[in-house]
Amino acid sequence: MYTSPPIVIDNGSDTTKAGFASEDLPSLVFNTNYSVGADGKVIVGDEEIDAHPENEVMTLMDNGLIYDFDNIIHNWRYVYDNLNNGYSIDPKDYPLTMTEQSWNTKQNKIKQTQIVFEELEVPIFSLVKKPLCQLYHMGRSNGLVVDIGSSTVSVTPVLDGIIQSKFTSYSKFGGDYIDANILNYMNSTVDLSTVVDQGTESYKNYQLSKKIIKEFKISMLNIAEDPINLSLPLEQQFQFTLKNFQLPNKQYVPIKQHQLEILEYLFQPNFSKLSPQPPSIEKPNSNGLSHFIISTLKNLESHLISEDPNNTNKTNEILRTYVSNLLITGNVSLLSGLTTRLTKDLSSLSYRILPSIRPFINPLNNFQVNDVNEIWDKKFNTWLGASNLSLMINDSKSVAMDNWFVTKEDYKEFGEDYIYEKFK
């Protein structure tokens, strides 16, 4: 039994969320990037990075996974140094839970575990998968988790609490892709070099992304309720009022048809000048959001039929379970109108492509639409679900200790293969 509450760290490509599992919301939310000076000193934290324009700003994550294991320790130490109302706490005194993507690699799991036990010296550790945390927070063990994040959009089928890894896929058409399209548009209309005129190039790009592009995305762009014909001029299809976005240097970015066009790239990325490849049926992750989800379901259907060709009722029931427990989450899912558009798209596409299941698509919510708690739910549901799972560590009737946690003693005794099997 552990008297200290577990600490939960959810590293995202954009922000890191951290806090005690006993809290209602994470007490620390900070940018996952770090900066490094000419002397090699690593700096973590929003205000700290802002104060050093002479530093290079670096990333820790790629495709939702940690890749910079040499410096991730600074992110985690920042948590322990600031979690307790700005006072430092000792990692040795608290169980630790971290989250991971479903496609995390064996090498990453082992390296992450090695760092937390050997450098942080935590007493007990758990690495839990984000989609399971997200569904658990909704009180479900079955569902289709659509996580629309900064660096990736992932679609994860979960059945009876087990991730169907073979059909889990992710694409890069998420928040960062939209940000790149915004930056491309801004560069075509104004001189951005004078907006942030001090600091290294990486620092300037960091400031543009954090303070300008994100605000532009929220305040100036809209998602159309229905698919748009991007092959025709949008001004022939819609009435637009010219808007102007004011930059810190008093310049204005004019925007008209791009109010709808830029966010439409989430659904039709092939129309963007930045699209890396044309959409393909064989590659679900080359498609826009709605077709990406439908392609995943179609692949699932094909697999289920091949496994049991004489039992179409079972196949249809499993597919129905997924679409009736649809969880749309992630920071980008908070964009106004996204859930409405996606629900309409999926309803239309499902009836045409998967007609046998007669789906009723009703996205999972703990709160009413536009309730402020819904915003926290979508922003932090991975952290919240991981926190709830972590608190089971002291429940004598729970399987959490045996199935999800590894003690430092077990790590030393059984080694890497044991770690991988535990967190598989």
Rounded to two decimals, what is the model's pTM? 0.94
Q: Is the pLDDT reported for residue 18 higher than 90?
A: yes
Q: Judge contact between 77 and 391, C-beta under 8 A.
A: no
Do 143-172+279-365 and 7-138+381-422 fall under one CATH topology? yes
Q: Judge contact between 18 and 10, C-beta under 8 A.
A: yes
Q: Is the pLDDT reported for residue 400 higher than 60?
A: no
Tokens coding 93: 């005194």
Give the right CATH number for 175-271 from 3.10.20.30, 3.40.190.10, 3.50.90.10, 3.90.640.10. 3.90.640.10
Q: How many CB atoms neighbour CB 377 within 10 A?
A: 19
Give per-residue pLDDT as tens, 305-346: 898 888 888 888 888 889 889 999 999 999 989 999 999 999
Give per-residue pLDDT as tens, 157-172: 999 999 999 999 999 9
* Residue-level pLDDT at 330: 93
Give per-residue pLDDT as tens, 199-223: 999 999 999 999 999 999 999 999 9
Q: Is the pLDDT reported for residue 397 higher than 60?
A: no
Where along the chain do its domains lie? 7-138+381-422, 143-172+279-365, 175-271
Phi, psi at 44, each rounded to 5°: -125, 145
Q: Is the pLDDT reported for residue 1 higher than 70?
A: no
CATH for the stretch 7-138+381-422: 3.30.420.40
β-pair type (34-36, 28-31): unpaired
Q: Judge contact between 389 and 95, C-beta under 8 A.
A: no
Give the right CATH number for 143-172+279-365 from 3.40.50.720, 3.30.365.10, 3.40.140.10, 3.30.420.40. 3.30.420.40
Q: Judge contact between 360 and 368, C-beta under 8 A.
A: no
Q: Which among 173, 124, 144, 53 is positioned nearest to 364, based on CA atoms?
A: 144
